[in-house]
């Protein structure tokens, strides 16, 4: 097996991974950076899919404190306040860097200043954007900058299977990768590893992220003993497109539509948000709007396809077509006209606030293992504001790189590792090829069942019984997955990769269901119909860690209000 | 919902060069895309089909492939719009990794060669208003997702393997037109040569397939205008160490831009209203500036025709022009394989290439069209019989068009219009064991 040695190994090429690679490479040309990406570099992951934009304080009338308060309010006060402060205080320099060094060009107002649009849940219009397809601009420009750095080695269409540690399991040593094109394995030894592979929202039937995302980074970190946090906090975006069985299903119609004044109606023609949040109505936070829509659908007031109507026609067709061309085009794919008629939408699984617990150095409890972007927990608490996602991945991409560069100064060489651990990882990865193919079920069919079950029982509205059932069913799914056999060549074997995806997805799903069962209250994106109220007792984060083969060790930690108490924010 | 028949191209070069078509009947449903159909095949028919995808919303460009003979994104192509038989092939002009997955490396190597990354001049955020004339020039060409559709569709890429291709040149244009960027001269040098802008023959293949409605032809044309303005009225080779002969600063460009009158440019039904031409040239003396003004006036007229100043064609393959077909003695006519006959679609001329050896030991690449009809195979030389420009097949018109002087040929290769003196040249061909061979009739 090929072995590669590098200083910094970065898994993932979204906003966090790319920015971390550029930042590490620029810090010192002698540092060797290896960037590994599951798809093509810059073409996989969700930063590219960002539509609405990027929250940042640029206007003198706005302030970091306001952005910080909005972020805590959105997160229902269980955010790690120091991480949230890092986000808001670093966003301005990051946007400037995107403009002046990376080469992005964001939309301007008539004076030539960067334009900022309104987004739900914010006290000031602070969302920077390029039209309604902001991510393409950010990620295309970041990807191009990788060409400029000679000390970044890029390995495309290659996925990390598992992380490797020293024999005590306290320090990261490297990662075993699978080259998807050749079906060959590769060991990369590194002084520091950044996981930036994105979250596991794809475990739901209706979901927004790109298709290859399966929470690999979080699942791998969990398997080597990293602490996970806030896993019950999974955001459902309120306006996902309904498109029957097509894969267009679940794609997001951006936040800015409601920011601009779109209405939501149920099948009876009622503007139902007036009942749920009379003050902010459609411009309420994502969790409130998603849950309200879900309640309408559950209450029998949904559309024929099980959604609600999003209507912009009162704003004038020209306004909609001018400001949201990307969204108009997307809706046209299903033969509808966003500018002139109501569109059926449903909540769609969108973003995992939970993930790997990190400290202010972006490091997990495993030495040398760093996380940034959606893989990391703490910044957003119980619910992420629209526009804070790409801000997080870029800000923490840079910060994690700065910290890793510092960290490796004191590390002379990658840690030793156990050959046995590596062999076991590979053995397990190729197991499906050694099973009897006859009568084996399809991983794609199994996936559909998992997604359906998660949607029904660990979805927008949860309850104790459902969550217990979900945990049992997930164990059965795991057994079934172990029996799936794969045939055909190892080169670019999509079915084999799907099995590997599902192994990770099931870990994320179990952690989500278990944490949701333990949190006996409703907060942010987590809603329990058997515990519908938010409870002061629950200013805590739920943490999970691996304990033996199939066990979770669970503990709670109280939130540390280092900067502001909830009452300071609300008054 | 009805069933559709999907023919999927299969090939695993790691194991063998053999290629084949697998056929699958797929039950369709509302809003089903080709990508959905491929997943349906994976789930229920054959789990070993390989294809690439990520975002499934037309934002990443991973799933570009040739669907019913045209480059498209699988995720943005509705099955219902394609009739009851759908053929799916990998992109052209790129090596196959497996089945529908191609290696994008050659595409990105060329992309990299034009310095595709921004090099900032200033630490302050530029105060350029959106949709100002300076930005309008760029904005409509900026949303490229590097899917490679244009690279696959471009007949000049097929013809010249060193040609940078539409996407790379379009990116170069966006950066050259960006006031904030500091690498103007070096980047311009890297596109101003025979395998760069001068290889484009304004055939608009790229525009026809671009999923983002970008018109690289337009961008390339702007660059040609600029090159001509700089006194480069003929195609030239840039040798190592000899830079472009223009020392030029970009200061003052913005000012000039604002003075320029706006011109509305209506380009086909895609509705690209591109306003305000840009001219990069810097007048170093009053005299030059006067000349430039008169040139500008001239350019204004011609640029509006979108074809602007057509490049003085590089002599593509040596002018074969009006000579009668070359006759060569039998002994010098080696048979050349054009691969598996089944890779060529029935009833549609398909462009392919082969290497023609030269006496010098080198070889040149030749482009030919293969046409299969029932049991007959015809192989046309792609060179127009007028002056040798490579013709391209237009499926809608069912005609071959020459990009240079208006030559048109029908499906039988007969001259329909323009200056060509004789029908398209044909190669003698044979099919043995499903492999297509042609006799190379050209003299080395």
Asked which of A68-77, A539-548, B199-208, B328-337 is least confident by mean pLDDT, the reply is B328-337
Quote the pLDDT of residue B442: 58
Asked which of A140-144, A154-158, B361-365, B408-412 is least confident by mean pLDDT, the reply is B361-365
Query: Which residues 301-360 of chain A have a CB within 8 Å of chain B?
Result: 330, 333-335
Residues in A closer than 8 angstroms to B95, CB to CB, are: none
DSSP 8-state class, residue A271: -
Residue among A44, A115, A147 whose CB faces B54 most closely? A44
Rounded mean pLDDT, A103-111: 94
Q: How far apart are alpha carbons B205 and B166 in whole angstroms?
A: 9
Q: Which fold has domain B335-439?
A: Rieske Iron-sulfur Protein (2.102.10)
- What chain B residue is nearest to A210 in terms of C-alpha separation? B55
pLDDT in tens, A29-53: 999 999 999 999 999 999 999 988 9
| C-beta separation of A229 from A537 below 8 A | no
Least Cα separation, residue B54 to chain A (angstroms): 5
pLDDT in tens, B145-175: 999 999 999 999 998 989 999 999 999 999 9
Give Rg (Cα) of chain B: 23
Q: Output the six-digit token pair for B284.
A: 């170093």
Q: In what order do the strands lie in the sheet with B376-381?
A: B350-357, B363-373, B376-381, B426-427
Residue among A113, A115, A246 whose CB faces B127 most closely? A113
Q: How far apart are alpha carbons A164 and A416 in whole angstroms?
A: 9
| C-beta separation of B229 from B299 below 8 A | yes
Q: Is the pLDDT at B360 greater than 50, yes or no?
A: yes
Query: Residue B282: pLDDT band by 50, 70, 90 thresholds?
Result: very low
- Given A141, A249, A286, A519, the catalytic residue: A286
pLDDT in tens, A519-563: 999 999 999 999 999 999 999 999 999 998 878 999 999 999 999
Average pLDDT, chain A: 95
Quote the pLDDT of residue B261: 31
Asked which of A364-378, A430-444, B222-236 is least confident by mean pLDDT, the reply is B222-236
| C-beta separation of A519 from A526 below 8 A | yes
Quote the pLDDT of residue A396: 98
Catalytic, A30? Answer no
Quote the pLDDT of residue A255: 85
- Inter-chain CB proximity A44 and B60 less than 8 Å: yes
| Domains and their CATH numbers in chain A | 239-347 (3.90.700.10), 419-558 (1.20.58.100)
Residues in A closer than 8 angstroms to B54, CB to CB, are: 39-40, 43-45, 210-212
Q: Output the six-digit token pair for B214.
A: 């970008």
* CA atoms A445, A446, A447, A448: torsion sign: positive
> To which residue do tokens 């394609």 refer?
B82
Quote the pLDDT of residue B297: 42
Nearest Cα residue to A289 out of A303, A306, A308: A308
Quote the pLDDT of residue B40: 96
Quote the pLDDT of residue B386: 79
Query: Which residues 184-223 of chain A have a CB within 8 Å of chain B?
Result: 210-212
Nearest Cα residue to A369 out of A166, A125, A568, A97: A166
- Inter-chain CB proximity A111 and B127 less than 8 Å: yes
- What chain A residue is nearest to B178 in terms of C-alpha separation? A103
Residues near B107 by beta carbon (within 8 Å), at least 6 away in sequence? B94, B146, B148, B151, B165, B167, B168
Nearest Cα residue to A77 out of A68, A65, A86: A68
Query: Which residues 433-452 of chain A have a CB within 8 Å of chain B?
Result: 442-445
Asked which of A362-376, A544-558, B220-234, B399-413 is least confident by mean pLDDT, the reply is B220-234
Residues in B closer than 8 angstroms to A48, CB to CB, are: 55, 59-60
Q: How far apart are alpha carbons B202 and B382 in whole angstroms?
A: 17
pLDDT in tens, A232-253: 999 999 999 999 889 999 999 9
Per-residue buried b or exposed e for A100-138, using 16+ beta carbons within 10 Å of the residue's own CB? bbbbbbbbbeeeeebbbbbbbbbebebbbbbbbbbbbbb
Q: Output the six-digit token pair for A513.
A: 């269901």
Quote the pLDDT of residue B108: 97
Q: Is the pLDDT at B330 greater than 50, yes or no?
A: no
Q: Is the pLDDT at B264 greater than 80, yes or no?
A: no
Rounded mean pLDDT, B237-251: 33
Quote the pLDDT of residue B308: 33
Where in the sequence of chain B do the CATH 1.10.1060.10 domains occur?
A: 105-121+133-238
Q: How far apart are alpha carbons B26 and B24 in whole angstroms?
A: 6
Q: Output the six-digit token pair for A444.
A: 């794609």
Q: Which fold has domain B3-102?
A: Ubiquitin-like (UB roll) (3.10.20)
The separation between CA B72 and the C-alpha centre of its own chain, rounded to angstroms, equals 14
Q: How far apart are alpha carbons A353 and B59 in whole angstroms?
A: 24
Quote the pLDDT of residue A156: 97
Would you state the torsion angle of the CA atoms of residues B306, B308, B312, B318, taken in this order, to the nearest 10 degrees?
Answer: 10
| C-beta separation of A161 from A178 below 8 A | yes
Q: Concatenate the DSSP letters of all residues of A81-127 into one string.
A: HHHHHHHHHHHHHHHHHIIIII-----B-TTSSBPEE--TT-SS--E
Quote the pLDDT of residue B130: 80
Q: Which of A246, A250, A445, A484 to mutate to test the interface with B (most CBs of B within 10 A)?
A: A246
Where in the sequence of chain B do the CATH 3.10.20.30 domains occur?
A: 3-102
Pairing mode of beta strands B392-394, B399-401: antiparallel
Where in the sequence of chain B do the CATH 2.102.10.10 domains occur?
A: 335-439
Q: Is the pLDDT at B270 greater than 80, yes or no?
A: no
Residues near B145 by beta carbon (within 8 Å), at least 6 away in sequence? A43, A136, A140, B58, B59, B60, B61, B211, B212
- Inter-chain CB proximity B54 and A487 less than 8 Å: no
pLDDT in tens, A328-340: 999 998 999 999 9
Q: Concatenate the DSSP letters of all residues of A512-546 into one string.
A: HHHHHHH--S-BTTB-BTTB-S--GGG-EEEEEEE
The torsion angles phi and psi of A326, rounded to 5 degrees, stand at -65, -40
Residues in A closer than 8 angstroms to B126, CB to CB, are: 99, 105, 112
Nearest Cα residue to A485 out of A550, A526, A537, A441: A441
- Inter-chain CB proximity A49 and B30 less than 8 Å: no
Q: Is the pLDDT at B273 greater than 80, yes or no?
A: no
Q: Which helix (H) or strand (E) holds B435?
A: strand B435-439
Residues in A closer than 8 angstroms to B144, CB to CB, are: 140
Residues in A closer than 8 angstroms to B76, CB to CB, are: 333
Name the CATH architecture for the domain at B105-121+133-238. Answer: Orthogonal Bundle (1.10)
- What chain B residue is nearest to A137 in terms of C-alpha separation? B143
Q: Which of A210, A251, A327, A435 to mutate to test the interface with B (most CBs of B within 10 A)?
A: A210
**Coil vs helix vs strand at B80:** helix
- Inter-chain CB proximity A244 and B55 less than 8 Å: no
């Amino acid at each position: 097996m090929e072995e590669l040695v590098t200083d910094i190994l970065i898994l993932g090429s979204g906003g966090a991974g790319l920015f971390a690679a550029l930042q590490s490479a620029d810090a010192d040309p002698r540092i060797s950076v290896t960037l590994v990406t599951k798809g093509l570099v810059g073409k996989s992951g969700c930063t590219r899919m960002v539509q609405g934009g990027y929250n940042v304080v640029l206007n003198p009338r706005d302030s970091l404190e306001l952005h910080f308060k909005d972020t805590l309010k959105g997160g229902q006060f269980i955010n790690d306040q120091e991480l949230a402060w890092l986000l808001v205080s670093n966003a301005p320099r990051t946007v400037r860097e995107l403009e002046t060094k990376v080469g992005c060009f964001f939309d301007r107002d008539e004076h030539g200043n960067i334009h900022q649009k309104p987004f739900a849940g914010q006290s000031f219009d602070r969302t920077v954007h390029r039209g309604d397809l902001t991510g393409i601009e950010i990620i295309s420009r970041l990807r191009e900058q990788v060409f400029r750095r000679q000390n970044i080695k890029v390995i495309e269409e290659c996925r990390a299977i598992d992380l490797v540690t020293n024999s005590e399991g306290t320090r990261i040593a490297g990662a075993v990768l699978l080259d998807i094109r050749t079906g060959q394995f590769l060991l990369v030894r590194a002084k520091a590893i950044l996981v930036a592979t994105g979250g596991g929202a794809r475990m739901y039937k209706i979901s927004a992220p790109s298709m290859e995302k399966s929470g690999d980074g979080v699942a791998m970190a969990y398997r080597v003993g990293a602490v996970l946090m806030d896993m019950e906090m999974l955001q459902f975006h309120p306006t996902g497109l309904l498109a029957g069985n097509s894969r267009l299903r679940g794609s997001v119609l951006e936040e800015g539509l409601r920011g601009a004044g779109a209405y939501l109606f149920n099948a009876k023609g009622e503007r139902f948000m007036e009942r749920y949040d009379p003050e902010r109505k459609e411009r309420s936070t994502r969790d409130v709007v998603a849950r309200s829509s879900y309640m309408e659908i559950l209450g029998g007031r949904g559309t024929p396809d099980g959604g609600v109507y999003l209507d912009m026609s009162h704003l004038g067709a020209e306004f909609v077509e001018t400001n949201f061309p990307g969204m108009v085009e997307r809706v046209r794919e299903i033969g509808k006209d966003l500018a002139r008629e109501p569109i059926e939408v449903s909540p769609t699984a969108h973003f995992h606030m939970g993930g790997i617990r990190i400290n202010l150095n972006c490091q997990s409890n495993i030495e040398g293992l760093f996380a940034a972007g959606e893989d990391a927990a703490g910044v957003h608490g119980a619910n992420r504001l629209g526009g804070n996602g790409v801000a997080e991945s870029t800000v923490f991409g840079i910060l994690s790189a700065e910290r890793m560069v510092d960290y490796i100064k004191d590390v002379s060489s990658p840690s030793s590792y156990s050959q046995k651990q590596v062999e076991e990882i590979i053995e397990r990865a190729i197991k499906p090829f050694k099973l009897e193919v006859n009568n084996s079920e399809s991983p794609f069919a199994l996936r559909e069942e998992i997604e359906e079950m998660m949607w029904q029982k660990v979805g927008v509205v949860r309850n104790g019984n459902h969550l217990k059932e979900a945990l049992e069913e997930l164990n059965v799914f795991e057994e079934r997955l172990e029996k799936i056999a794969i045939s055909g060549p190892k080169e670019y074997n999509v079915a084999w990769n799907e099995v590997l995806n599902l192994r990770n997805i099931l870990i994320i799903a179990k952690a989500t269901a278990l944490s949701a069962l333990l949190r006996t209250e409703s907060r942010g994106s987590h809603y329990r119909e058997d515990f519908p109220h938010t409870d002061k007792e629950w200013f805590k984060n739920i943490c999970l860690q691996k304990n033996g083969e199939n066990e979770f060790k669970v503990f709670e930690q109280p939130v540390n209000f280092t900067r502001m108490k909830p009452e300071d924010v609300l008054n | 919902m009805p069933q559709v028949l999907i023919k999927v191209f299969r090939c695993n070069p790691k194991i063998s060069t053999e290629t084949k078509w697998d056929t699958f009947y797929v039950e369709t449903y509302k809003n089903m895309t080709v990508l959905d159909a491929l997943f349906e095949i994976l789930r229920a028919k054959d789990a070993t089909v390989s294809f690439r995808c990520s975002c499934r919303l037309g934002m990443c460009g991973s799933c570009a492939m040739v669907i019913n003979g045209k480059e498209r994104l699988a995720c943005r192509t509705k099955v219902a719009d394609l009739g009851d038989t759908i053929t799916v092939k990998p992109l052209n002009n790129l090596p196959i990794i497996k089945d529908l997955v191609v290696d994008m490396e050659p595409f990105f190597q060329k992309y990299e060669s034009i310095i595709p990354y921004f090099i900032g001049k200033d630490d302050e955020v530029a105060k350029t208003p959106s949709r100002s004339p300076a930005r309008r020039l760029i904005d409509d060409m900026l949303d490229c997702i590097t899917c490679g559709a244009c690279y696959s569709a471009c007949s000049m890429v097929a013809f010249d393997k060193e040609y940078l291709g539409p996407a790379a040149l379009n990116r170069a244009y966006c950066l050259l037109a960006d006031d904030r960027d500091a690498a103007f001269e070096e980047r311009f040098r890297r596109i101003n040569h025979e395998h760069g802008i001068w290889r484009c023959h304004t055939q608009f293949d790229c525009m026809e397939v671009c999923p983002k409605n970008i018109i690289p032809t337009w961008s390339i044309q702007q660059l040609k205008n600029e090159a001509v303005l700089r006194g480069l009225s003929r195609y030239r080779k840039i040798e190592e160490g000899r830079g472009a002969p223009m020392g030029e600063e970009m200061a003052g460009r913005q000012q000039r831009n604002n003075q320029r009158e706006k011109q509305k440019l209506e380009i086909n039904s895609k509705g690209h209203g591109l306003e305000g031409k840009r001219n990069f040239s810097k007048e170093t003396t009053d005299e030059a500036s006067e000349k430039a003004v008169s040139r500008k006036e001239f350019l204004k007229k011609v640029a509006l025709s979108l074809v602007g100043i057509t490049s003085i064609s590089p002599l593509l393959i040596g002018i074969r022009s009006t000579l009668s077909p070359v006759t060569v003695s039998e002994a010098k006519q080696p048979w050349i394989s054009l691969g598996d006959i089944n890779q060529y679609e029935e009833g549609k001329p398909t462009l392919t290439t082969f290497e023609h050896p030269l006496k010098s030991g080198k070889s040149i690449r030749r482009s030919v069209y293969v046409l299969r009809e029932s049991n007959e195979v015809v192989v046309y030389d792609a060179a127009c019989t007028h002056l040798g420009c490579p013709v391209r097949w237009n499926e809608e018109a069912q005609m071959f068009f020459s990009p240079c002087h208006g030559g048109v040929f029908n499906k039988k290769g007969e001259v329909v219009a323009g200056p060509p003196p004789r029908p398209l040249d044909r190669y003698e061909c044979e099919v043995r064991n499903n492999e297509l061979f042609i006799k190379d009739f050209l003299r080395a």
